[in-house]
Amino acid sequence: MAIVRSPLLRQIRRKPLHFLGPFTVIIVLALFILSPSTLSSISGFNSTKTKYNYTPKTGFFGSSSKNKNFQSNLPGNHISHYDLNKLKSTPRAAYNKERILVLSPISRFYNEYWANLLKLTYPRDAMELGFILPRTAEGDEALKKLEKAIKIVQTGPKDDRFAKITILRQDNDGLESQLEKDRHELSVQKERRKNMAIARNSLLFTSLSPYTSWVLWLDADIIESPPTLIQDLISHDKPVMSANVYQRYKNDKGQPDIRPYDFNNWVESEEGLRIAENMADDEIVVEGYAEIATYRPLMAHFYDKNGDVNTEMQLDGVGGGAVMVKADVHRDGAMFPPFPFYHLIETEGFAKMAKRLGYEVFGLPNYLVYHYNE
Protein backbone atom coordinates (compact mmCIF):
# COMPACT_ATOMS: atom_id res chain seq x y z
CA MET A 1 0.00 0.00 0.00
CA ALA A 2 1.41 3.37 -1.03
CA ILE A 3 2.03 5.82 1.76
CA VAL A 4 0.66 9.30 1.12
CA ARG A 5 3.29 11.74 2.22
CA SER A 6 1.99 15.10 0.98
CA PRO A 7 -0.06 16.83 3.74
CA LEU A 8 -2.39 18.24 1.05
CA LEU A 9 -3.18 14.80 -0.39
CA ARG A 10 -3.60 13.46 3.11
CA GLN A 11 -6.11 16.24 3.83
CA ILE A 12 -8.07 15.37 0.61
CA ARG A 13 -8.18 11.73 1.59
CA ARG A 14 -9.48 12.52 5.04
CA LYS A 15 -12.11 15.16 4.11
CA PRO A 16 -12.77 14.86 0.33
CA LEU A 17 -15.92 17.04 0.38
CA HIS A 18 -14.03 20.05 1.70
CA PHE A 19 -12.02 20.11 -1.51
CA LEU A 20 -14.36 18.56 -4.10
CA GLY A 21 -17.35 20.71 -3.13
CA PRO A 22 -15.92 24.11 -4.16
CA PHE A 23 -14.21 22.50 -7.15
CA THR A 24 -17.55 21.13 -8.45
CA VAL A 25 -19.23 24.50 -7.99
CA ILE A 26 -16.48 26.17 -10.05
CA ILE A 27 -16.87 23.64 -12.90
CA VAL A 28 -20.69 24.04 -12.98
CA LEU A 29 -20.39 27.83 -13.05
CA ALA A 30 -17.87 27.66 -15.88
CA LEU A 31 -20.14 25.36 -17.92
CA PHE A 32 -23.10 27.68 -17.39
CA ILE A 33 -21.20 30.82 -18.39
CA LEU A 34 -19.76 29.22 -21.50
CA SER A 35 -22.99 27.53 -22.66
CA PRO A 36 -24.18 28.81 -26.11
CA SER A 37 -27.57 29.97 -24.84
CA THR A 38 -26.00 32.09 -22.11
CA LEU A 39 -23.49 33.43 -24.57
CA SER A 40 -26.19 34.29 -27.07
CA SER A 41 -28.29 36.02 -24.46
CA ILE A 42 -25.48 38.14 -23.08
CA SER A 43 -23.55 38.94 -26.23
CA GLY A 44 -25.74 38.09 -29.23
CA PHE A 45 -23.65 34.97 -29.76
CA ASN A 46 -25.16 33.19 -32.74
CA SER A 47 -25.95 29.70 -31.51
CA THR A 48 -27.44 26.93 -33.65
CA LYS A 49 -30.62 26.93 -31.54
CA THR A 50 -33.65 26.49 -33.78
CA LYS A 51 -36.69 28.73 -33.65
CA TYR A 52 -39.13 25.88 -33.01
CA ASN A 53 -38.04 23.19 -30.64
CA TYR A 54 -39.64 19.77 -31.17
CA THR A 55 -37.81 17.99 -28.37
CA PRO A 56 -38.50 18.39 -24.69
CA LYS A 57 -36.29 21.00 -23.06
CA THR A 58 -34.05 19.45 -20.42
CA GLY A 59 -32.56 21.64 -17.78
CA PHE A 60 -29.78 20.84 -15.34
CA PHE A 61 -32.29 19.02 -13.12
CA GLY A 62 -34.00 17.17 -15.99
CA SER A 63 -37.11 18.30 -17.80
CA SER A 64 -39.41 20.48 -15.75
CA SER A 65 -42.81 19.05 -14.87
CA LYS A 66 -44.52 22.09 -16.45
CA ASN A 67 -42.79 21.37 -19.70
CA LYS A 68 -43.74 17.72 -19.52
CA ASN A 69 -47.46 18.57 -19.24
CA PHE A 70 -47.23 20.90 -22.16
CA GLN A 71 -45.64 18.19 -24.27
CA SER A 72 -48.15 15.49 -23.42
CA ASN A 73 -51.05 17.77 -24.36
CA LEU A 74 -49.75 18.10 -27.87
CA PRO A 75 -50.38 15.04 -29.99
CA GLY A 76 -47.68 13.90 -32.37
CA ASN A 77 -45.06 16.08 -30.71
CA HIS A 78 -46.57 19.43 -31.79
CA ILE A 79 -47.74 18.24 -35.21
CA SER A 80 -51.39 17.22 -35.64
CA HIS A 81 -52.42 15.45 -38.82
CA TYR A 82 -55.99 15.55 -40.10
CA ASP A 83 -56.87 14.09 -43.45
CA LEU A 84 -59.71 16.30 -44.65
CA ASN A 85 -60.42 13.74 -47.41
CA LYS A 86 -61.60 11.36 -44.72
CA LEU A 87 -63.81 13.95 -43.05
CA LYS A 88 -67.32 13.30 -44.35
CA SER A 89 -70.60 15.21 -44.24
CA THR A 90 -73.16 12.57 -45.13
CA PRO A 91 -76.94 12.21 -44.83
CA ARG A 92 -76.28 9.45 -42.26
CA ALA A 93 -74.46 11.87 -39.99
CA ALA A 94 -76.12 10.80 -36.73
CA TYR A 95 -75.39 7.13 -37.38
CA ASN A 96 -71.79 7.93 -38.33
CA LYS A 97 -71.45 10.27 -35.35
CA GLU A 98 -70.29 13.08 -37.62
CA ARG A 99 -69.42 16.11 -35.48
CA ILE A 100 -71.85 18.98 -35.65
CA LEU A 101 -71.20 22.45 -34.35
CA VAL A 102 -74.33 24.37 -33.35
CA LEU A 103 -73.58 28.09 -33.42
CA SER A 104 -75.76 30.80 -31.88
CA PRO A 105 -75.05 34.51 -31.61
CA ILE A 106 -76.99 35.44 -28.51
CA SER A 107 -77.94 38.79 -27.06
CA ARG A 108 -80.90 37.56 -25.05
CA PHE A 109 -81.33 34.20 -23.39
CA TYR A 110 -84.74 32.62 -23.79
CA ASN A 111 -85.61 29.55 -21.72
CA GLU A 112 -87.68 28.29 -24.65
CA TYR A 113 -84.62 28.37 -26.94
CA TRP A 114 -82.61 26.34 -24.46
CA ALA A 115 -85.45 23.87 -23.82
CA ASN A 116 -85.84 23.38 -27.56
CA LEU A 117 -82.07 22.87 -28.00
CA LEU A 118 -82.11 20.21 -25.29
CA LYS A 119 -84.93 18.42 -27.10
CA LEU A 120 -82.86 17.93 -30.25
CA THR A 121 -82.22 14.23 -30.72
CA TYR A 122 -78.82 14.31 -32.43
CA PRO A 123 -76.24 12.29 -30.41
CA ARG A 124 -74.86 14.66 -27.77
CA ASP A 125 -71.37 13.19 -27.86
CA ALA A 126 -71.10 14.33 -31.48
CA MET A 127 -72.59 17.73 -30.79
CA GLU A 128 -70.64 20.88 -29.95
CA LEU A 129 -72.15 24.25 -29.08
CA GLY A 130 -70.72 27.69 -29.68
CA PHE A 131 -72.08 31.03 -28.44
CA ILE A 132 -71.06 34.62 -28.91
CA LEU A 133 -72.48 37.40 -26.76
CA PRO A 134 -72.26 41.15 -27.18
CA ARG A 135 -70.26 43.17 -24.66
CA THR A 136 -73.33 45.03 -23.40
CA ALA A 137 -75.45 44.99 -20.25
CA GLU A 138 -77.90 42.80 -22.16
CA GLY A 139 -75.04 40.47 -23.08
CA ASP A 140 -73.95 40.26 -19.41
CA GLU A 141 -77.45 39.25 -18.44
CA ALA A 142 -77.68 36.63 -21.19
CA LEU A 143 -74.26 35.24 -20.25
CA LYS A 144 -75.31 34.67 -16.64
CA LYS A 145 -78.42 32.76 -17.71
CA LEU A 146 -76.56 30.80 -20.39
CA GLU A 147 -73.81 29.71 -18.00
CA LYS A 148 -76.36 28.62 -15.43
CA ALA A 149 -78.23 26.54 -18.00
CA ILE A 150 -75.00 25.01 -19.34
CA LYS A 151 -73.78 24.08 -15.87
CA ILE A 152 -76.90 22.02 -15.21
CA VAL A 153 -76.41 19.97 -18.39
CA GLN A 154 -72.64 19.61 -18.27
CA THR A 155 -72.61 18.46 -14.65
CA GLY A 156 -75.59 16.15 -15.16
CA PRO A 157 -75.61 12.57 -16.49
CA LYS A 158 -72.60 11.93 -18.75
CA ASP A 159 -74.75 10.82 -21.69
CA ASP A 160 -76.59 14.16 -21.69
CA ARG A 161 -73.48 16.30 -21.89
CA PHE A 162 -72.42 18.06 -25.06
CA ALA A 163 -69.04 17.12 -26.50
CA LYS A 164 -67.77 20.67 -26.16
CA ILE A 165 -69.12 24.17 -25.47
CA THR A 166 -67.43 27.41 -26.44
CA ILE A 167 -68.57 30.81 -25.14
CA LEU A 168 -67.14 33.98 -26.65
CA ARG A 169 -67.57 37.63 -25.78
CA GLN A 170 -67.47 39.93 -28.77
CA ASP A 171 -64.44 42.14 -29.09
CA ASN A 172 -66.39 44.80 -30.97
CA ASP A 173 -69.14 46.86 -29.42
CA GLY A 174 -72.65 45.50 -29.76
CA LEU A 175 -75.52 47.82 -30.46
CA GLU A 176 -77.21 48.68 -27.19
CA SER A 177 -80.84 48.80 -28.21
CA GLN A 178 -82.27 45.52 -29.43
CA LEU A 179 -85.99 46.28 -29.19
CA GLU A 180 -87.79 44.87 -32.20
CA LYS A 181 -88.85 48.27 -33.56
CA ASP A 182 -85.31 49.68 -33.23
CA ARG A 183 -83.46 46.82 -34.80
CA HIS A 184 -85.87 46.75 -37.73
CA GLU A 185 -85.32 50.42 -38.69
CA LEU A 186 -83.92 50.46 -42.23
CA SER A 187 -81.42 53.14 -41.28
CA VAL A 188 -79.77 50.94 -38.63
CA GLN A 189 -79.69 47.82 -40.78
CA LYS A 190 -76.26 48.27 -42.32
CA GLU A 191 -74.52 48.90 -39.00
CA ARG A 192 -76.49 46.18 -37.23
CA ARG A 193 -75.94 43.56 -39.91
CA LYS A 194 -72.25 44.44 -40.09
CA ASN A 195 -72.00 43.95 -36.36
CA MET A 196 -73.84 40.62 -36.58
CA ALA A 197 -71.62 39.48 -39.45
CA ILE A 198 -68.48 40.17 -37.44
CA ALA A 199 -69.94 38.30 -34.47
CA ARG A 200 -70.81 35.29 -36.65
CA ASN A 201 -67.36 35.27 -38.24
CA SER A 202 -65.59 35.45 -34.87
CA LEU A 203 -67.70 32.57 -33.62
CA LEU A 204 -67.15 30.47 -36.73
CA PHE A 205 -63.41 30.99 -37.09
CA THR A 206 -62.77 30.36 -33.42
CA SER A 207 -64.81 27.21 -33.03
CA LEU A 208 -64.56 25.32 -36.34
CA SER A 209 -62.32 22.28 -35.76
CA PRO A 210 -60.53 20.03 -38.22
CA TYR A 211 -63.07 17.33 -37.32
CA THR A 212 -66.26 19.41 -37.74
CA SER A 213 -68.53 17.92 -40.43
CA TRP A 214 -71.56 20.18 -40.11
CA VAL A 215 -72.38 23.63 -38.82
CA LEU A 216 -75.93 24.51 -37.74
CA TRP A 217 -76.60 28.22 -37.42
CA LEU A 218 -79.39 28.48 -34.89
CA ASP A 219 -80.42 31.93 -33.75
CA ALA A 220 -81.06 32.21 -30.03
CA ASP A 221 -84.56 33.49 -30.68
CA ILE A 222 -85.63 30.29 -32.45
CA ILE A 223 -87.70 28.75 -29.72
CA GLU A 224 -89.42 25.85 -31.41
CA SER A 225 -88.43 23.26 -33.98
CA PRO A 226 -88.99 19.57 -34.60
CA PRO A 227 -86.69 17.57 -32.26
CA THR A 228 -85.17 15.97 -35.34
CA LEU A 229 -84.20 19.38 -36.78
CA ILE A 230 -80.54 18.43 -37.26
CA GLN A 231 -81.15 15.04 -38.87
CA ASP A 232 -83.95 16.47 -41.03
CA LEU A 233 -81.87 19.31 -42.49
CA ILE A 234 -78.86 17.01 -42.94
CA SER A 235 -80.93 14.31 -44.68
CA HIS A 236 -81.20 16.54 -47.76
CA ASP A 237 -77.43 16.35 -48.18
CA LYS A 238 -77.14 19.94 -49.42
CA PRO A 239 -74.19 22.29 -48.89
CA VAL A 240 -76.52 24.91 -47.38
CA MET A 241 -80.08 24.18 -46.23
CA SER A 242 -82.34 26.69 -44.53
CA ALA A 243 -85.56 26.05 -42.59
CA ASN A 244 -88.53 28.41 -42.94
CA VAL A 245 -88.83 30.76 -39.96
CA TYR A 246 -92.39 31.49 -38.80
CA GLN A 247 -93.85 33.03 -35.67
CA ARG A 248 -96.77 32.07 -33.45
CA TYR A 249 -99.18 34.86 -32.56
CA LYS A 250 -102.83 35.52 -31.70
CA ASN A 251 -104.88 36.59 -34.73
CA ASP A 252 -107.69 39.19 -34.85
CA LYS A 253 -110.13 36.65 -33.46
CA GLY A 254 -107.78 36.02 -30.56
CA GLN A 255 -106.96 32.55 -31.82
CA PRO A 256 -103.48 31.07 -31.97
CA ASP A 257 -102.11 31.37 -35.48
CA ILE A 258 -98.82 31.43 -37.34
CA ARG A 259 -97.28 34.01 -39.69
CA PRO A 260 -94.14 34.28 -41.80
CA TYR A 261 -91.24 35.89 -39.94
CA ASP A 262 -87.86 35.72 -41.66
CA PHE A 263 -87.75 37.25 -45.14
CA ASN A 264 -84.06 36.72 -45.70
CA ASN A 265 -84.60 33.37 -47.43
CA TRP A 266 -85.21 34.48 -51.00
CA VAL A 267 -84.69 33.89 -54.68
CA GLU A 268 -83.03 36.71 -56.64
CA SER A 269 -85.28 38.72 -58.98
CA GLU A 270 -84.67 40.90 -62.04
CA GLU A 271 -85.72 43.90 -59.98
CA GLY A 272 -83.39 42.96 -57.13
CA LEU A 273 -80.48 42.77 -59.58
CA ARG A 274 -81.47 46.07 -61.17
CA ILE A 275 -81.64 47.86 -57.80
CA ALA A 276 -78.20 46.48 -56.87
CA GLU A 277 -76.74 47.54 -60.20
CA ASN A 278 -77.76 51.15 -59.66
CA MET A 279 -76.47 51.35 -56.11
CA ALA A 280 -73.31 53.04 -54.90
CA ASP A 281 -70.49 50.59 -54.10
CA ASP A 282 -71.03 50.65 -50.35
CA GLU A 283 -74.82 50.34 -50.36
CA ILE A 284 -76.74 47.18 -49.49
CA VAL A 285 -80.06 45.68 -50.51
CA VAL A 286 -82.03 44.45 -47.50
CA GLU A 287 -85.17 42.40 -47.81
CA GLY A 288 -88.57 43.13 -46.32
CA TYR A 289 -88.59 46.95 -46.66
CA ALA A 290 -91.12 48.81 -48.79
CA GLU A 291 -88.39 51.38 -49.57
CA ILE A 292 -86.49 48.68 -51.46
CA ALA A 293 -89.12 46.71 -53.40
CA THR A 294 -87.15 43.83 -54.93
CA TYR A 295 -90.11 41.59 -55.81
CA ARG A 296 -87.92 38.66 -54.87
CA PRO A 297 -89.81 35.40 -54.31
CA LEU A 298 -89.54 34.93 -50.52
CA MET A 299 -89.46 31.41 -49.11
CA ALA A 300 -91.62 32.58 -46.20
CA HIS A 301 -94.50 32.95 -48.68
CA PHE A 302 -94.07 29.50 -50.19
CA TYR A 303 -95.24 27.63 -47.10
CA ASP A 304 -98.02 25.18 -47.86
CA LYS A 305 -99.47 23.58 -44.77
CA ASN A 306 -100.62 20.57 -46.77
CA GLY A 307 -97.43 20.36 -48.78
CA ASP A 308 -94.63 17.83 -48.47
CA VAL A 309 -92.29 18.92 -45.68
CA ASN A 310 -89.35 17.69 -47.77
CA THR A 311 -90.05 20.04 -50.69
CA GLU A 312 -86.84 21.86 -51.56
CA MET A 313 -86.41 25.21 -53.22
CA GLN A 314 -83.22 26.74 -54.53
CA LEU A 315 -82.33 30.04 -52.83
CA ASP A 316 -79.99 32.97 -53.41
CA GLY A 317 -80.24 34.55 -49.96
CA VAL A 318 -80.61 32.97 -46.52
CA GLY A 319 -81.35 34.22 -43.01
CA GLY A 320 -79.63 32.95 -39.88
CA GLY A 321 -82.63 31.39 -38.10
CA ALA A 322 -81.88 27.71 -38.68
CA VAL A 323 -79.39 27.02 -41.45
CA MET A 324 -77.42 23.81 -41.89
CA VAL A 325 -74.05 24.18 -43.62
CA LYS A 326 -71.57 21.49 -44.63
CA ALA A 327 -68.42 22.50 -42.77
CA ASP A 328 -66.43 22.42 -46.01
CA VAL A 329 -68.44 25.35 -47.34
CA HIS A 330 -67.10 27.47 -44.48
CA ARG A 331 -63.70 25.82 -44.63
CA ASP A 332 -63.44 26.76 -48.30
CA GLY A 333 -63.94 30.38 -47.31
CA ALA A 334 -67.65 31.17 -47.22
CA MET A 335 -68.16 33.57 -44.32
CA PHE A 336 -70.49 36.41 -43.41
CA PRO A 337 -69.33 39.52 -45.24
CA PRO A 338 -69.50 42.51 -42.87
CA PHE A 339 -69.16 44.72 -45.96
CA PRO A 340 -71.36 44.91 -49.06
CA PHE A 341 -70.59 41.84 -51.15
CA TYR A 342 -72.56 42.11 -54.40
CA HIS A 343 -74.58 44.62 -52.32
CA LEU A 344 -75.42 41.88 -49.83
CA ILE A 345 -74.32 41.60 -46.22
CA GLU A 346 -74.16 39.03 -43.39
CA THR A 347 -76.24 35.84 -43.93
CA GLU A 348 -77.46 36.98 -47.34
CA GLY A 349 -73.87 37.77 -48.32
CA PHE A 350 -72.88 34.32 -47.02
CA ALA A 351 -75.33 32.64 -49.42
CA LYS A 352 -73.85 34.66 -52.28
CA MET A 353 -70.33 33.74 -51.23
CA ALA A 354 -71.22 30.02 -51.00
CA LYS A 355 -72.66 30.24 -54.51
CA ARG A 356 -69.57 32.02 -55.83
CA LEU A 357 -67.55 29.10 -54.41
CA GLY A 358 -69.70 26.76 -56.49
CA TYR A 359 -72.06 25.48 -53.79
CA GLU A 360 -75.83 25.29 -54.10
CA VAL A 361 -78.09 26.91 -51.53
CA PHE A 362 -81.50 25.49 -50.64
CA GLY A 363 -84.44 26.01 -48.35
CA LEU A 364 -87.39 23.94 -47.13
CA PRO A 365 -90.53 26.11 -47.44
CA ASN A 366 -92.75 23.59 -45.62
CA TYR A 367 -90.34 22.88 -42.81
CA LEU A 368 -91.11 25.39 -40.07
CA VAL A 369 -89.19 26.59 -37.06
CA TYR A 370 -90.59 29.35 -34.85
CA HIS A 371 -89.18 32.70 -33.84
CA TYR A 372 -89.78 34.22 -30.43
CA ASN A 373 -92.65 36.67 -30.24
CA GLU A 374 -91.87 39.80 -28.25
Ligand X SMILES: Nc1nc2c(ncn2[C@@H]2O[C@H](COP(=O)(O)OP(=O)(O)OP(=O)(O)O)[C@@H](O)[C@H]2O)c(=O)[nH]1
Nearest to 168 by CA among 100, 125, 104: 104
Which among 179, 174, 211 is positioned nearest to 331, based on CA atoms?
211
Alpha helix ranges (H) inside 91-134: 93-96, 111-119
Q: Output 106 or 243, the one with its CB closest to ligand X.
A: 106
- Choice between 303 and 342, CB closer to Mg ion: 303
Tell me how far the alpha carbon of residue 285 is from its chain's centroid. 27
Among 93, 102, 120, 174, binds ligand X (CB under 6 A): 174
Give the nearest distance from C-beta 365 to ligand X in angstroms: 18
Binding span for ligand X by CB under 6 A among 94-102, 105-113, 333-341, 358-366: 105-113
Which residues have CB under 8 Å from 75's CB, separation 6+?
A: none
Backbone φ and ψ of 305, nearest 5°: -65, -20
HSE (side-chain half, CA atoms, 13 Å) at 279: 18
Question: For residues 202-221, which are near Mg ion according to CB under 5 A?
Answer: 221
On whether the CB atoms of residues 284 and 197 are closer than 8 A, the answer is no
Which C-beta is closer to ligand X: that of 133 or that of 285? Answer: 133
When CB distances are held under 5 to 8 angstroms depending on the partner's kind, the choice from Mg ion, ligand X, none that residue 170 binds is ligand X
Total residues contacting ligand X by CB under 6 A comes to 22
- How far is residue 368's CA from residue 288's CA, in Å, rounded to a whole number? 19
Helices (H), 210-261: 229-235
Can you tell me the distance from the alpha carbon of 363 to that of 320, in angstroms, rounded to the nearest whole number?
12
Q: Residue 183 Cβ, how far from ligand X at the closest point, in Å?
A: 5
Contacts of ligand X in 199-238 (CB under 6 A) = 199, 219-221
Using CB under 6 A as the binding rule, whether residue 183 contacts ligand X is answered as yes
**220 or 353, CB closer to ligand X?**
220
Backbone angles phi, psi at 323, to 5 degrees: -130, 125
316 binds Mg ion (CB under 5 A): no
Q: Rounded to the nearest whole angstrom, what is the least distance from the CB of residue 237 to ligand X in the complex?
A: 26
Crossing angle of helices 16-34 and 7-14, rounded to 10°:
90
Q: Which range in 13-21, 104-112, 207-215, 230-238 contacts ligand X by CB under 6 A?
A: 104-112
Among 97, 108, 145, 164, which residue sits at the site for ligand X (rule: CB under 6 A)?
Answer: 108
Q: How many CB atoms lie within 10 A of CB 276?
A: 18
Identify the residue among 117, 129, 132, 353 touching ligand X (CB under 6 A): 132
- Residues at the contact surface with ligand X, assessed by CB under 6 A: 104-108, 132-134, 170, 174-175, 178, 180, 183-184, 195-196, 199, 219-221, 320
- Residues at the contact surface with Mg ion, assessed by CB under 5 A: 221
